[in-house]
Chain A
Amino acid sequence: MATYANINGQRPIGRTVEAQPDRVTMRLLVIEDDRDAADYLVKAFREVGHVADAANDGDDGLAMALDGQYDVLIVDRMLPKRDGLALIGALRAKGMETPALILSALGQVDDRVKGLRAGGDDYLPKPYSFSELLARVEVLARRRVGRTEETVLRVGNLELDRLSHQVHRGEGEITLQPREFRLLEYLMQHAGQVVTRTMLLENVWDYHFDPQTNVIDVHISRLRSKIDKGFSQPLLHTIRGAGYMIRDGAR
């Protein structure tokens, strides 16, 4: 399609595929009535190595989702024939637990709460950036594996004990402030995955607003100086145009 010719096989934002060696192929279903938007998403997901299908209304979307072959559903909130929230409700009523991310033009906190209450697993207001969407979808897909239940998280020689609240890298103990601990914990839970600034703000600070200045960056650089300083192999990486990732680069 000519519209996307300028993407030219590249990711829309300056992230490169090589930055994520942990990526596994996901099967995704995009349920979105705006065909241009749906095509764009399908194409963009395929470019980063995932398998993606599109449905253009609520009924088709429900039928395809019920096949159960998908890892994550990306559901537009307002759909013809069947509203996005109703679609998720119908899926959940049938016992389908496929994670669903709601896309919506309604971006306020209470709309978000409504979406999550209806059975959605994440909520992203439009307009979104693809890297934000991709990061969230990957986190949702991974969540099914159940990594969050481990009590000791390890990335390379960095070790975080969720019970004793102790952090070690190699032999040395690292002292972290409570918020820094939660920040690192969240990053390590999603090791190998891109975590965006908004995701950090939502999950570590529980804020859903835009803090205008990139306060998160400063927190990250503080954390980085504590865990990476003096080590030849950095673990905490900045993914340009997207966010951050903790990963053992030596592997």
Chain B
Amino acid sequence: MTALGKLFRTTTFKLTLVYLTVFALFAAFLLGYFALNTRRLITEQITDTVNAEITGLSEQYRLGGIRRLVVVVDARARRPGSSLYLVTTFAGESLAGNVTSLPPGTLDNSGWTETGYRRLDEVEAGEHPEHHALVRVFQLPGGFRLLVGRDLDERERLYNIVLSAGRWSIAIVIVLGLAGGLFVTRRVLRRVDAMTETTRTIMHGDLGGRLPVAGTGDELDRLAENLNLMLERIEALMRGLKEVSDNIAHDLKTPLTRLRNRAEQALRSGKNETEYRAALENTIEESDGLIRTFNALLMIARAESGQARDNMSEFDAAEIAHDIGELYEPLAEEKGIALKVEADTPTPLRGNRELISQALANLVDNSIKYAASRDAMNGAPPQIVVRALSEGDRILLTVADSGPGIPESDRGRAVERFVRLEQSRSQPGSGLGLSLASAVARLHGGELTLADNQPGLKSIIALPRGGPVQIGG
């Protein structure tokens, strides 16, 4: 496609053409209407003047006969810019007037005619062209004929002026319009081309590219800004995806290798049914762990992509705190941890009950794992406190333990997928508990923060009371 062809194909240029055509047609219509009306108006004026003169002259004839008429016509014909007059006998012999060279037979019919003529004074001057006039022939009683008319040149001149003005202005409109259209189109096209160029590099895999923003705040800028936001989101998602696949590769391959090795070993050196059975049971156990990890990953992916936004309902966060506390209390007790729930006032919340329960359960589960591992140095039994409280327009679900806590430098990392801080490598679990809790919090427009409980870890899920704010519907 040539550059010009591309230009002509743009929406802007097509719009320009449409507007141009409409405007030119309108201008032509307007000027044509104006020209025709002017002409009609002048014709009417001529008719009126001629009629008045004929009435006046025939009155003169009635009062003073042909003699008086000739005198009056003579006097009038001599005035500068006068009308055209001619008085003839029945035979056509001119008695008075300022007109000659009328086509033969003009005087034979009474009434209006448009005719060519020459003025008497011009005949002597030489080769003047014929003029046009609108004349009326009137039969006077007594066989005389009276012709009165007005020159039409003025009318034609005016008509022509208007017409040529019209032609010129339409030509100018078209030329200027086309030029303007091309100019605007090229400007727009240049910016769109720049955008296309950037988009292409982005499509080639450079997700860091951003569309140029001219800074004029116009619709193209708004479009570019929105697309840039979209690109940012895509880049973040891609980064997340890459991280996930890296981590899957790393953390899932380990148990898969273990599973494979054990099966292989059982096959190679299994001596009896008991050993085979043990190996098979082990395999099932390992694969259950893998399935659990996959499920957690899927859950996180769903929560992060916002798919779980359906199923939102109103419920009491304090009730969730009590339920989860109740679910984990025997487990904590078994490990010698005192699990307490402090959530006495109803704290209504809008969200996905199941996911928030799971997030809180993960935090409690996490705390139970680590709170117990603490040395009873000061003799006090380890404890965990689950709280639900409202703070401004937010609902806080907190789990505070007296375990070893997480050093401040590691807290951000602990929320990431698959990250298990060193001391936790020995503990069971997918390492996805905190990541899932964090994803659930973000799904609801809130956040998960880890803080120092002095001593211990305090995990806080902060959620907006009214549920997530929908972006763009």
B178 at the interface (CB under 8 A from A): no
What distance in Å separates the Cβ of A35 from its nearest Cβ neighbour in chain B?
A: 22
| Chain A residues, CB < 8 A from B334 | 218
What distance in Å separates the Cβ of A4 from its nearest Cβ neighbour in chain B?
A: 13
* CB-contacts of B319-354 with A (<8 A): 323, 326-328, 330-331, 333-334, 354
- Contact at A110–B330, with CB atoms within 8 Å? no
User: Could you tell me how many residues of chain B have their Cβ less than 8 Å away from some Cβ of chain A?
Assistant: 38
What distance in Å separates the Cβ of B228 from its nearest Cβ neighbour in chain A?
A: 32
Other-chain residue from B276, B326, B365 in contact with A213 (beta carbon distance below 8 A): B365
What distance in Å separates the Cβ of B296 from its nearest Cβ neighbour in chain A?
A: 8
B200 at the interface (CB under 8 A from A): no
- Contact at A209–B361, with CB atoms within 8 Å? yes
User: Could you tell me how many residues of chain A have their Cβ less than 8 Å away from some Cβ of chain B?
Assistant: 26
| Chain B residues, CB < 8 A from A211 | 327, 361, 365
| Bound CA span A100–B276, Å | 35
Using an 8 Å CB-CB cutoff, how does the interface string of A117-133 with B read, 1 for contact, 0 for none? 00000000101010000
| Chain B residues, CB < 8 A from A110 | 308, 310-311
| Bound CA span A212–B327, Å | 12
B362 at the interface (CB under 8 A from A): yes
Known interface pairs A209-B358, A212-B365, A218-B331; A129-B326 also in contact (CB < 8 Å): no
* CB-contacts of A216-243 with B (<8 A): 218-219, 221-222, 241
* CB-contacts of B298-324 with A (<8 A): 298-299, 302, 308, 310-311, 323
Known interface pairs A179-B326, A207-B354; A213-B331 also in contact (CB < 8 Å): yes
- Contact at B361–A14, with CB atoms within 8 Å? no
- Contact at B328–A108, with CB atoms within 8 Å? no
Known interface pairs A109-B354, A212-B429; A129-B288 also in contact (CB < 8 Å): yes
Other-chain residue from B302, B331, B368, B430 in contact with A108 (beta carbon distance below 8 A): B302
| Subset of 28 A-B contacts with CB under 8 Å | A13-B281, A13-B284, A107-B298, A108-B299, A109-B354, A113-B311, A127-B291, A129-B284, A129-B288, A205-B323, A207-B354, A208-B354, A209-B354, A210-B292, A211-B365, A212-B428, A212-B429, A213-B331, A213-B365, A213-B368, A213-B429, A215-B330, A215-B331, A219-B327, A219-B330, A222-B330, A241-B281, A241-B284
Known: A108-B302, A110-B308, A213-B365. 11 other contacts (CB 8 A): A6-B280, A109-B311, A127-B291, A179-B326, A209-B354, A209-B357, A210-B296, A215-B330, A215-B331, A219-B327, A241-B281
